[in-house]
Amino acid sequence: MKIENYQKPNTKLWTGRISKDKMYLHEKIQCIPLDIKPLKISKEKTFAFLGYQCDEGVLRNQGRIGAFKGPDMIRKMLAPLANHFTDQVELLDVGNIICPTGDLEKTQQETSITIANLLKHQIFPIILGGGHDLAYAHYSGIKRQLPHQTIGIINLDAHFDLRKKVNSANSGTPFYQIASETNNFNYLCLGIQKAANNKELYKTANILNVQYVENTEFTIGNKKEIDLILKKFIESVDYLYLTIDLDGFSSSVAPGVSAPSPTGFLVDIAMDSIHTVCKSNKLISVDIVELNPKYDIDNCTAKLAARLIYNIISFI
């Protein structure tokens, strides 16, 4: 299938201080359009940044739009970071999948195909959202490439995103859609907020045997208990897909999101959990979603997203 809703990487996003020895990420990144065939990897570890420039699902879910600008803002915040990666780590920007006409389903399908293609070429996808409807496309892409493997989903988020699809998909339905299309639904949510999930969503989560830790328990003080939950979940699956919704964080550190919350989790426990997942040797794909630059303050949410990505690459 030809990818029609595609935007080539923009080299102008990758700017910063100039050095003679690739001391900054903007000097290390390679902008490689997806129409370059074949995709080749020449390094021990290759990571590709793919933007999901779409918040149609947020609009459909009656949220505040603006997350479609998230992917490029994350790139801007990654660009000036210091490069401590070895020459055996390759970083690619492969551009954006866009949603110019509101056709969310087509954008999701094309994103799914693109992710599968990256995995096929042994490239680690880091998908930059965009709304959390990305998760349905992302998981579908993994299953295209690994149809017979058990994929565990770990979601750092305030919301289950298990709403039933009534008229059309949106940013609140992705994990219910996934559950409806698989016989082996393995889903762990960290940071769930009671105030942000109604009784029906909790009922659905329990019916689907979703594992979750509420935000009141998702703290660094409960590190040992959370480590045990994570390790048990990791042992039960073949591979892991990590999705990070920035609205799960406290709005004190992440104000620029589609649905901010003052009672979200903090960076310390999130980073500790991400480290555990990355060191499992089972993680094969990551996304980070719901950055809404329109509501950010001094780019602190975008900078948080960039630092999370930076550390994920460092941990793997």
Say how far apart CA 28 and CA 55 lie, in whole Å: 29
Query: Using one digit for the tens of pLDDT, what is the confidence trace for 127-149?
Result: 999 999 999 999 999 999 999 99
Q: Is 268 annotated as a binding residue?
A: no
What share of the chain has pLDDT > 70, as a percent? 97
The Cα–Cα gap between 124 and 184 comes to: 23
C-alpha span between 190 and 177 (Å, rounded): 19
The DSSP element (H or E) to which 47 belongs, if any, is strand 45-53
26 marked among binding-site residues: no
Quick one: what percent of the chain has pLDDT higher than 90? 92
Q: How many whole angstroms separate alpha carbon 287 and alpha carbon 305?
A: 10
238 a known binding residue? no
pLDDT at residue 250 greater than cutoff 70: yes
Q: Tell whether residue 227 is among the known ligand binding residues.
A: no
pLDDT, tens only, 41-65: 666 799 999 999 999 999 999 889 9
Residue type present at position 180: S
Q: Which two tokens stand for residue 192?
A: 């769930």
Q: Is 157 within any annotated ligand binding site?
A: yes
- The answer on whether 138 is annotated among ligand-binding residues is no
pLDDT for res 1:
61
**What is the predicted pLDDT for the residue at 20?**
85
pTM assigned to the model:
0.96
Spell out the CATH class of 6-315: alpha beta
User: Shortest CA distance to 265 belongs to which of 253, 252, 248?
Assistant: 248
Instruction: Give the number of other CB atoms < 10 A from CB of residue 207.
Output: 10
303 DSSP β-pair partners: none
Report residue 37 as tokens.
């065939």
Position 2 confidence tier, pLDDT thresholds 50, 70, 90? confident
Specify the pLDDT at position 39. Answer: 67
Q: What would you report as the CA-atom Rg of the chain, rounded to the nearest whole angstrom?
A: 18
